[in-house]
Amino acid sequence: MFVILAAAAIWGIGHLLGQPARRRLILIGFLLAVVLLTHALFPTGHPLPRLFGGSFSAWATLTGGLVLVAIYRAGLKRLRSRALPDTEAQSGPFSDSELDRYARHIVLREIGGPGQKALKEARVLVVGAGGLGSPALLYLAAAGVGTIGVIDDDTVDNSNLQRQVIHRDQDIDLPKVFSAETAMRAQNPNITVRPYNRRLTEEIAEDLFGDYDLILEGSDNFDTRYLVNRVAAARAIPVIGGALSQWEGQISLWHPAAGHPCYECVFPEAPAPGLAPSCAEAGVIGPLPGVIGSMMALEAIKHLAQAGETLAGRLMIYDALYAETRLIGVKQRPGCPACGAPLDAGSDHT
């Protein structure tokens, strides 16, 4: 009680005198050091150790715990100072809550404060709020992508819930974009969500795409894929595309403006009817959309933060049944009508 009262007196009187917290903590630390030295230098029955109470091991444990807390707080403060210059500490792009939320990103050398700031300033459109869109949307929201658009004209069905994890049983019959919006806002209230409850058509695609820096294409039909590819290529907007079938998924970053192929470079024509059945017709294992959709979000974060090597110019194929992953190099197809690749872009597109 003597030590506790002494520490309280140091803190209270220092506060009344306007002393900074750091100076008061130093005095309390000096008090604890005196207590530890007393227990270490004098025998147990001596009046001084008895005055302070406890034992050397107990006071050492308490002091060690307080030191660890102080080190943690100092580290957190240093982390925040790395994310924002001192001159922007009060008016910078991140609140204290956001700095804490994104701390695991900011400490990554490849992301850091600048990369997280790029994510917050980014505008990403996700086409489709189904199997691929569900995990992609959740992870983009969690990562702090500032503006996320999602376009889909479908409603939540009971058969979706086996794999479309952004939707819940209570969302059945609700438009998918509004169900997804609710989940994303609950995940991260610091982002802006733009739901478009409509089908993506030629008439709206060009104006809509102009509001975004990056597009994630996770639709379930070839007409939409070719439409997204054609319009995005014309506007020089990169597209991260994913596709699924039964146990297999594929993903790539289509970016012809940077000299890489577009979707139509690699897949000039849609397969004949019946050769590529939909998930409803052929089935799909539940976690597979989560794997590929999460990869899409990861590629988006890497592209926006300029971290590492993206899948531009490479097609990743994941076989979940046999736990195999293959990477195939792809090139622009000379004379591609979608991206206008020059005729000397190469003799082969794979």
Tens of pLDDT, residue by residue over 115-146, are 999 999 999 999 999 999 999 999 999 999 99
In a domain, 115, yes or no: no
| Residues 68 and 131 grouped into a single domain | no
Q: What angle do CA 198, 218, 310 make, to 5 degrees?
A: 135
Predicted confidence at residue 239, as pLDDT, reads 98
| Residues 67 and 178 grouped into a single domain | no
Please spell the DSSP secondary structure of 229-256, one letter per residue. Answer: HHHHHHTT--EEEEEEEBTEEEEEEE-G
Cβ contacts of residue 269 below 8 Å, gap of 6+?
Answer: none
Helix (H) or strand (E) holding 184: helix 176-187
In a domain, 58, yes or no: yes
Tens of pLDDT, residue by residue over 267-304, are 999 887 766 667 777 889 999 999 999 999 999 999 99
Does residue 306 surpass a pLDDT of 90? yes
Which pLDDT band holds residue 212 (cuts at 50, 70, 90)?
very high
Average pLDDT for the chain: 86
Most confident residue range from 73-82, 203-212, 334-343:
203-212
| Residues 150 and 200 grouped into a single domain | yes
Report the alpha-carbon distance of residue 167 to residue 161 in Å, rounded: 7
Report the alpha-carbon distance of residue 233 to residue 138 in Å, rounded: 26
Tens of pLDDT, residue by residue over 172-194, are 999 999 999 999 999 999 999 99
| Residues 181 and 325 grouped into a single domain | yes
The answer to whether the pTM exceeds 0.75 is no
The domain that contains 208 carries what CATH number? 3.40.50.720
Report the alpha-carbon distance of residue 29 to residue 215 in Å, rounded: 55
% residues pLDDT > 70 (the chain): 81
| Residues 140 and 288 grouped into a single domain | yes
Residue 100 half-sphere exposure, CB side, CA atoms within 13 Å?
Answer: 5
| Residues 79 and 221 grouped into a single domain | no
In a domain, 112, yes or no: no
Distance from first CA to last CA of the chain, Å, rounded? 77
Predicted confidence at residue 255, as pLDDT, reads 96
Cβ atoms 126, 149 nearer than 8 A: yes
Domain that holds residue 48: 2-83
CA–CA distances in Å: residue 80 to residues 68, 83, 93 = 18, 5, 12
| Residues 283 and 207 grouped into a single domain | yes
Predicted confidence at residue 153, as pLDDT, reads 96
List residues bridging with 150 in a β-sheet: 126, 195
Predicted confidence at residue 121, as pLDDT, reads 97
Quote the tokens at residue 83. Answer: 């994310």
| Residues 236 and 131 grouped into a single domain | yes
Tens of pLDDT, residue by residue over 59-81, are 677 777 777 777 777 777 677 66
In a domain, 106, yes or no: no
Largest CA distance in the chain: 94
In a domain, 111, yes or no: no
Predicted confidence at residue 52, as pLDDT, reads 65
Cβ atoms 266, 315 nearer than 8 A: yes
232 phi, psi to nearest 5 deg: -65, -40
DSSP summary character for residue 312: B
| Residues 46 and 152 grouped into a single domain | no
pLDDT: is 80 or 209 the higher one?
Answer: 209
Which pLDDT band holds residue 26 (cuts at 50, 70, 90)?
confident
In a domain, 110, yes or no: no
Which pLDDT band holds residue 343 (cuts at 50, 70, 90)?
low
Report the alpha-carbon distance of residue 286 to residue 277 in Å, rounded: 17
Most confident residue range from 48-57, 87-96, 255-264, 333-342:
255-264
pLDDT: is 53 or 86 the higher one?
Answer: 53
Please spell the DSSP secondary structure of 147-161, one letter per residue. Answer: EEEEE---B--GGGG
Predicted confidence at residue 88, as pLDDT, reads 42
| Residues 304 and 180 grouped into a single domain | yes
Quote the tokens at residue 319. Answer: 């076989």
In a domain, 104, yes or no: no
In a domain, 340, yes or no: no
Does residue 228 surpass a pLDDT of 60? yes
Domain tally, the chain: 2
Report the alpha-carbon distance of residue 341 to residue 339 in Å, rounded: 6
Does residue 254 surpass a pLDDT of 70? yes
Quote the tokens at residue 72. Answer: 């943690």
List residues bridging with 127 in a β-sheet: 151, 217
| Residues 52 and 169 grouped into a single domain | no
Which pLDDT band holds residue 87 (cuts at 50, 70, 90)?
very low
| Residues 146 and 274 grouped into a single domain | yes
> Sheet containing 324-329: which strands, arranged edge to edge?
192-196, 147-151, 123-127, 214-217, 239-245, 248-254, 314-319, 324-329
Mean pLDDT of 7-25: 67
% residues pLDDT > 90 (the chain): 65
pLDDT: is 46 or 7 the higher one?
Answer: 46
Mean pLDDT of 240-252: 96
Report the alpha-carbon distance of residue 160 to residue 241 in Å, rounded: 20
